[in-house]
Structure 1
Amino acid sequence: MRSVLETDWFYWALSVAIGLPVGLVLLTELHNTLARRGSYLARPVGLLRNYILPLGALLVLLVKGGDISGETTGVRIVATAFGFVVMILLLSGLNATLFQGAPEGSWRKRIPSIFLDVARFALIAIGVGMIFAYVWGAHVGGLFTALGISSIVLGLALQNSVGQIISGLFLLFEQPFRLGDWLDTPSARGRVVEVNWRATHIDTGSGMQIMPNSVLAGASFTNLSRPEASYSLSIVCTFGPADPPDQVCALLTGVAARLPQIRPEATVKAVAVGGNDYRTTIPVRSPADDGAAKATFLRWVWYASRRAELHLDGIDDDFGTAERLTKACRRMATTLRLSHTDQQELLTHAALTRYGADEAVQTAGEVPTRMSYLLDGRVQVTAAGPDGEVVPVRTLHPGDFLGQSALTREATRTSVYALEETTMLQVDRDFLEELVTRNPLLLHEMSRLLDERRTDARRAMSATSTQAPVSAPSSNR
């Protein structure tokens, strides 16, 4: 017994017999704890428990416990496997601590994966070379020299292609834009849909622009999507020299504020820039809304400027001719059963107006100053539900009236949008009050129509629980 205790292999074997189970238990508990927390270190700890600790124990037993020479093939195979797993552990731990656990927005998080792959390949090559040199006694210096010379030759032969790849890698590392961002470059303007090592793909709306990264890296471009919620559309309109500038700016601001593409809680601004030109700055949600917002704005400004008797592009509006006005008043007089005298007075207190498709004719909460009679087109009456959804109330057609609450001077509970180009005959409130005073039957009819609209609105509101909500009219109809 004393001779066994005096041998070296006994203590090595005893250390492995006690240390291996204890180490496995401790590493298992540590691995389970890290796995529950979702830590990136769980995988390196798993490698240490499953491979490195058992292989290290086996190597100790062979060399120290079994007194087997390290020059034997079996020991070299075990040592090679042990060294390879240790190398994988170091790479995995380095990746988990430096890159996978890096804070969002840091340079470690932005570094392209290709850089990590190249660095990992180089470290693996160096590690494998050291293992073969130390364990097997191989001479790997010549191999690394040959690889270095080959790399130089290939780099000179492929310098143009490699230059584009390096430019792409630096763009990926710096990340001046992301997929989905809108870029304005000297040769293209559109949305980034793909970025690879060689080129950036930009969807311009009329085709795909393939731009080499070397060109993009050497040029100046604008990222329209950064910072977020900062993109604005600028539109210049020309009005007549006699149009009051403040009135023009108020009209442009009001039209732009009603655009469906406008960014929530953003401020629209219209200023005179000289030469009868006015610039309207419209903050939109995304550059993708640029085209739709501009088309809708220009279309609505055309109608709004004529209703306000302003001269867009310096042109006078000749729509409300005496002939058209007389014909429209005759239609309304027939509907209301007005006398010839009332019809003649109506001509001096009425005006023809037009609204474009999807344009707001009436907004909930405002007090109408005129009553409107539909001549052509259709409008949609809507109400706001309890959760803010838009509920359709009814559709008005030619021959219907709108704005009867002008007589009662009450705020409207509904909003009205034109479904198509709509022509209306609008009558001043003062004349209406005088007209219904002379004609009690007309007052009764107006009251009946007003009560009918209120009933329709209440019925639509009560049906919101069984009807799917609809959105407000958009400019893409």
Structure 2
Amino acid sequence: MTAIWTEPWFPWAVGLAIGLPVLLVVLTEILGHLVRRGSPAAKPLRLLRNLVVPVFALFVLMTLASDQQFDLTWVRVVGTVLGFLLILLVLSAFNVALFSNATEGSWQKRLPSIFIDLARLVLILVGLAILFSWVWGADVGGLFAALGVTSIVIGLALQNAVGSVISGLLLLFEQPFKLGDFLDTPAGRGRVVEVNWRAVHIDTGNGIQIVPNSSLAGASFTNLSQPAGAYVATATVKFSTDDAPHEVSAMLVQVARALPMLDPVDKPAVAYRGNGAFDVSLPVTSPAREEEAVSLFLGWLWYAARRHDLALDGDATDPVNTPESVRAALTSVGPLFGLGGGDLDEIAGLCRVEQWGAGETVQELGRVPDSLRIVLEGALQLTVPFENGRLQFSELGSGESVGLTALTRQPTTYFATATRPTLVLRVPRDAVDAAVRQNPALARRVGEQLDNRRVLALAAIARARDSSGVIAIGDEAVGLS
């Protein structure tokens, strides 16, 4: 009787009985470590542990340990399954090695996923063809020839549709734009919201414009979002040739800088074109805000031009600033400051009535005012800097004033912004000084108002800190020191 350990299947059986559990335990431990780290290598390792190793063990048993021949049907079936799993394992490992840890900007990151999927499909088909030819002895040459002829026939029949698909694939590979970019195309202008094999979907603001890839690939278009940075909107305005160009340019820059949608890095610029024409460049945060920025700029410019007595579009007329309107405004606010008729006559020639548009900043932070401004109509919102924005602490109505530190020659500690079209009486600093000389009690009243607004601002800041959990030491954090 032959000893069992001399049988040809015995070494394989012992090897599988001992080696397979040990190998599975080791792979399990490694897999657990990779999963905890969130490593992409866990996916191919899980495929190796759960499928490839067990099927390989079965294949070894059927072909070697049991002393069977490879041409048996079940052995071929197991061999085919094992070959397919090995193909998947190799592709998964290559995917992890090439694409999982790719850095931003590398060719792996820029390569569209559709190309990766197509390459994976082709490799699987080729691998299966080789596998069937080797295991089953199949003639796959005829199959490839038939597929080639069929592909040609389908391509000719669907050349228009296939052309769009190919154009879409080329656009995806070249990547001249990405989702969220703003395009200016012959078909429309707007933001890219979807890119597929057949077409690009552009949100124009009035609906979704569907642009076929073939049309886009064969035409010239502009990516307004590239290169990265601010998008420059342009407004062209015209003044009278009697206005000094440097005065107009300074006013245009001042108005443009106050726009809330400007890019925080780039600055607006003005170019004089001659004959009273100016081009104003407005670097905005997004092409989507171009129309809003130009509209707001032109609206604020209308008010600013009249305050500076400049002739926008050749018209320098300011109907609200007349000697009669100034005298009427002084008469209405004179009693608030203890000024009589003689005092009003003395300062009337120095004052003027101004119009401010909604959203305009009437008083900047940190500047010594050159005038006192008294609200006649409308309202002014008072705000102080807080965290990354502004915090409102009061609102001024008719008869109240800003620019009180014009008397004390101190920088302002808050912003004053018109909440709607607002009419104010501007009293220059010299006129304020003259009024104080006539009525010394006016200086005390101004000081009381300054102290009251400081208290209101600090109280609003304290409430905001309590609600947001912000901790700050002293008043320096908000410029109230």
Does TM, scored on the shorter chain, surpass 0.5? yes
Whether contact under 8 Å (2:339, 2:435) holds in the other structure is no
SS in 1 for 2:465: coil
- Tell me how far apart the structure 1 counterparts of residues 4 and 463 of structure 2 sit (CA, whole Å): 94
Structure 2 matches for 1:198-213, cutoff 5 A? 198-213=198-213
Q: Structure 1 residue 343 and structure 2 residue 344: aligned?
A: yes
- Tell me how far apart the structure 1 counterparts of residues 438 and 43 of structure 2 sit (CA, whole Å): 91
* Residue equivalent to 1:228: 228
Whether contact under 8 Å (2:192, 2:200) holds in the other structure is yes
Structure 2 matches for 1:35-74, cutoff 5 A? 35-74=35-74
- Tell me how far apart the structure 1 counterparts of residues 230 and 121 of structure 2 sit (CA, whole Å): 42
* Residue equivalent to 2:427: 427
Give the Å deviation of 1:442.
3.5
Whether contact under 8 Å (1:329, 1:346) holds in the other structure is no
* Residue equivalent to 1:376: 377
SS in 1 for 2:399: coil
AA aligned to 2:255 is V
Q: Structure 1 residue 129 and structure 2 residue 138: aligned?
A: no
* Residue equivalent to 1:323: 324
* Residue equivalent to 1:418: 418
Residues 199-208 or 227-236, more deviating: 227-236
Q: Structure 1 residue 407 and structure 2 residue 419: aligned?
A: no
Change (3 A) 1:275 1:6: same
* Residue equivalent to 2:478: none
- Tell me how far apart the structure 1 counterparts of residues 453 and 59 of structure 2 sit (CA, whole Å): 92
SS in 2 for 1:465: helix
Residues 180-189 or 194-203, more deviating: 180-189
Give the Å deviation of 1:287.
1.2
Residues 162-171 or 181-190, more deviating: 181-190
Q: CA RMSD in A?
A: 2.2
Give the Å deviation of 1:7.
4.8
- Tell me how far apart the structure 2 counterparts of residues 467 and 229 of structure 1 sit (CA, whole Å): 35
Give the Å deviation of 1:377.
0.8
TM-score using structure 2 length: 0.91
**Cα distance per residue 1:371-419 (max 9 Å; x no partner):** 122111111112234x354222221111222222211112221210001
Q: Structure 1 residue 11 and structure 2 residue 11: aligned?
A: yes
* Residue equivalent to 1:394: 394
Give the Å deviation of 1:337.
4.3
Whether contact under 8 Å (2:232, 2:282) holds in the other structure is yes
**Cα distance per residue 1:283-324 (max 9 Å; x no partner):** 211112212211111111111111111111111123212332
Whether contact under 8 Å (1:437, 1:443) holds in the other structure is no
Q: Structure 1 residue 159 and structure 2 residue 170: aligned?
A: no
Give the count of matched residue pairs. 468
Gaps of 5+ in 1: 470-477
- Tell me how far apart the structure 2 counterparts of residues 76 and 90 of structure 1 sit (CA, whole Å): 21
* Residue equivalent to 1:28: 28
Change (3 A) 1:458 1:47: closer
Change (3 A) 1:117 1:400: same
Residues 247-256 or 161-170, more deviating: 247-256
* Residue equivalent to 2:477: none
**Cα distance per residue 1:226-279 (max 9 Å; x no partner):** 222232222121111121111111111111111111111322211212221112
AA aligned to 1:240 is S
Residues 359-368 or 329-338, more deviating: 329-338
Structure 2 matches for 1:127-206, cutoff 5 A? 127-206=127-206
Change (3 A) 1:432 1:122: closer
* Residue equivalent to 2:366: 365
Residues 428-437 or 195-204, more deviating: 428-437
Give the Å deviation of 1:61.
2.0
Whether contact under 8 Å (1:100, 1:109) holds in the other structure is no
Give the Å deviation of 1:116.
2.6
Structure 2 matches for 1:75-154, cutoff 5 A? 75-154=75-154
SS in 2 for 1:464: helix
Give the Å deviation of 1:200.
0.4
SS in 2 for 1:85: helix
- Tell me how far apart the structure 2 counterparts of residues 361 and 405 of structure 1 sit (CA, whole Å): 14
AA aligned to 1:406 is A
SS in 2 for 1:240: coil
Whether contact under 8 Å (1:374, 1:399) holds in the other structure is yes
In the TM superposition, structure 1's runs of 4+ consecutive aligned residues that sit over 4 Å from their partners are: 1-7, 466-469
AA aligned to 2:130 is M
* Residue equivalent to 1:475: none
Give the Å deviation of 1:131.
2.8
- Tell me how far apart the structure 1 counterparts of residues 360 and 57 of structure 2 sit (CA, whole Å): 81
- Tell me how far apart the structure 2 counterparts of residues 138 and 443 of structure 1 sit (CA, whole Å): 105
TM-score using structure 1 length: 0.91
Change (3 A) 1:156 1:389: closer
* Residue equivalent to 1:457: 457
AA aligned to 1:151 is S
AA aligned to 1:282 is L
Change (3 A) 1:214 1:423: same
Change (3 A) 1:238 1:79: same
Whether contact under 8 Å (2:232, 2:283) holds in the other structure is yes
AA aligned to 2:403 is G
SS in 1 for 2:210: strand
Structure 2 matches for 1:438-453, cutoff 5 A? 438-453=438-453
- Tell me how far apart the structure 1 counterparts of residues 450 and 328 of structure 2 sit (CA, whole Å): 26
